[in-house]
Amino acid sequence: MIIFQLLFFLFSFFAIGTVIKRRKDTLLSNNGTLFWMLFWILADVVVFMPNSTTVFANALGIGRGADVIIYIALAIIFFVLFRLHVKLHMIEQHITRIVRDDAIGTMQDTESQTKK
């Protein structure tokens, strides 16, 4: 076992522990827990058996296993980035709604106090 494999295994062990903790704290859904568990187990498989990705790559018509990993990682990163952008946009809209309600409420309070 080379040093990288050992370090990666320890890290994935820690990551899976975090996933389980998040699930217990009900911060992660069943699907989310399943996805991240599978992700880290699969990552361990790839790190311990690097040739396994080559088999998969060849099946897809890609030469090297490392290339498949890079393509998939890029696709996932872009997808997550897009989802984060959309989420941020929605949060911005919620902030605006709160700011608007507060602004109109304050104005109405001031108006009613002036009338008194």
Residue 108 beta carbon to other proteins: minimum distance, rounded to whole angstroms: 9
Compute the least distance from the CB of residue 29 to other proteins, in Å.
21
Q: How many Cβ atoms sit within 10 Å of the Cβ of residue 115?
A: 6
Site for other proteins in 24-83 (CB under 8 A): 82
Please state the closest distance from residue 55 (CB atom) to other proteins, in A: 36
109 lines the binding site for other proteins (CB under 8 A): no
Pick from 93, 112, 113, 114 the residue near other proteins by CB under 8 A: 93
User: Which residues contact other proteins by CB under 8 A?
Assistant: 82, 85-86, 89-90, 92-93, 95-96, 99-100, 102-104, 106-107
